């Protein structure tokens, strides 16, 4: 079992199992998502066998290990505004692609962020049809349960659908953040003129 800390306020804001939703910067936090859904038993990671595209496989692997470019991770290295201060508090590491002001972690990125709604629809409908799930029931589950279900799946179609989702969603995220940065630069320049 790995160690983690969850502040009471953060726990209160996130109404599900703290082992799933993460958590506080501390030891082993990079293993946060992975540790939450990985089976106790050692088994071959299905994505290594199923995802033929090397880039997608790497992306999926990093996402599972909690070392993707999401702010829950990159915020550890962002300047916090204090002299010499490195690392944002967890509550500042919010998603910059939507207005929900929620922590940009793996669950937000995969299940919650409205920015990726269209591609998520495709992912979820593939999961539902491939695994013959009850559509209404599945979609009524809390975000963490849907997240866990998808991440734990050993089904080839689901694993590839997940890899495809990550590929296009991260691409869109990158475009959105680049655009936002360019807009900020332009507005700063306008103010200086
Ligand atoms: Zn978002």
Task: Report the pLDDT averaged over residues 7-36.
Answer: 41
Q: How many residues does the chain have?
A: 193
Whole-number Å distance, alpha carbon 100 to ligand 1 midpoint, is: 6
75: containing domain: 8-192
DSSP symbols for 72-128: HHHTTTSB-SSTT-B---GGG-B-SSSSS--B-SHHIIIII-GGGHHHHHHHHHHHH
Query: Is residue 177 assigned to a domain?
Result: yes
Query: Is residue 1 assigned to a domain?
Result: no
Whole-number Å distance, alpha carbon 106 to ligand 1 midpoint, is: 11
Query: Is residue 3 assigned to a domain?
Result: no
Whole-number Å distance, alpha carbon 41 to ligand 1 midpoint, is: 33
Q: How far apart are the first and last CA of the chain?
A: 57
Whole-number Å distance, alpha carbon 70 to ligand 1 midpoint, is: 10
Question: Residue 183 pLDDT more than 90?
Answer: no
**Do residues 2 and 36 lie in contact, with contact meaning Cβ atoms separated by under 8 Å?**
no
Going by pLDDT thresholds of 50, 70 and 90, the confidence category of residue 133 is very high
Whole-number Å distance, alpha carbon 102 to ligand 1 midpoint, is: 7
Q: Indicate yes or no: pTM above 0.75.
A: yes
Whole-number Å distance, alpha carbon 172 to ligand 1 midpoint, is: 12
Query: Is residue 162 assigned to a domain?
Result: yes
Question: Residue 122 pLDDT more than 90?
Answer: yes
CA distance linking residue 16 with residue 12, whole number of Å: 9
pLDDT of res. 20: 38
Query: Is residue 151 assigned to a domain?
Result: yes
Q: What is the pLDDT of residues 46-90, one digit of tens each?
A: 667 899 999 999 999 999 988 899 999 999 888 888 877 888 999
Whole-number Å distance, alpha carbon 15 to ligand 1 midpoint, is: 18
Rounded to 5 degrees, what are φ and ψ at 94?
A: -85, 160
Query: Is residue 58 assigned to a domain?
Result: yes
Q: How many domains does the structure of the chain reveal? A: 1
Task: Point out which residues pair with 94 in neighbouring strands.
Answer: 103
Question: Residue 93 pLDDT more than 50?
Answer: yes
Give the number of other CB atoms < 10 A from CB of residue 92.
13
Whole-number Å distance, alpha carbon 189 to ligand 1 midpoint, is: 28
Whole-number Å distance, alpha carbon 53 to ligand 1 midpoint, is: 27
Task: Report the pLDDT averaged over residues 125-137.
Answer: 97
Higher-confidence position of 191 and 87: 87
CA distance linking residue 78 with residue 73, whole number of Å: 10
Average pLDDT along the chain: 80
Q: What is the pLDDT of residues 143-170, one digit of tens each?
A: 999 999 999 898 999 999 999 999 999 9
130-139, Cβ contacts within 8 angstroms, sequence gap of 24 or more:
130/155, 130/157, 130/158, 130/161, 131/155, 131/158
């Amino acid at each position: 079992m790995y160690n983690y800390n969850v502040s009471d306020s953060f726990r209160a804001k996130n109404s599900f199992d703290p082992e799933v939703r993460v958590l506080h910067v501390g030891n082993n936090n990079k293993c946060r998502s992975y540790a939450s859904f990985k089976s106790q038993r050692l088994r071959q990671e299905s994505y290594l066998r199923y995802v033929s595209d090397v880039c997608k496989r790497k992306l999926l692997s990093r996402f599972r290990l909690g070392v993707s470019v999401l702010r829950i991770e990159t915020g550890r290295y962002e300047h916090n505004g204090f002299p010499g201060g490195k690392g944002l508090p967890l509550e500042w590491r919010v998603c910059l692609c939507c207005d929900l002001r929620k922590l940009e972690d793996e669950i937000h990125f995969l299940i919650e962020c409205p920015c990726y709604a269209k591609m998520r629809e495709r992912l979820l409908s593939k999961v539902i049809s491939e695994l013959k799930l009850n559509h209404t029931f599945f979609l009524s589950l809390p975000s963490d349960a849907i997240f866990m279900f998808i991440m734990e799946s050993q089904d080839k179609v689901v694993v590839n659908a997940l890899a495809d989702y990550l590929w296009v969603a991260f691409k869109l995220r990158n475009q959105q953040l680049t655009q936002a940065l360019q807009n900020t630069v332009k507005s700063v320049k306008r103010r200086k003129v």
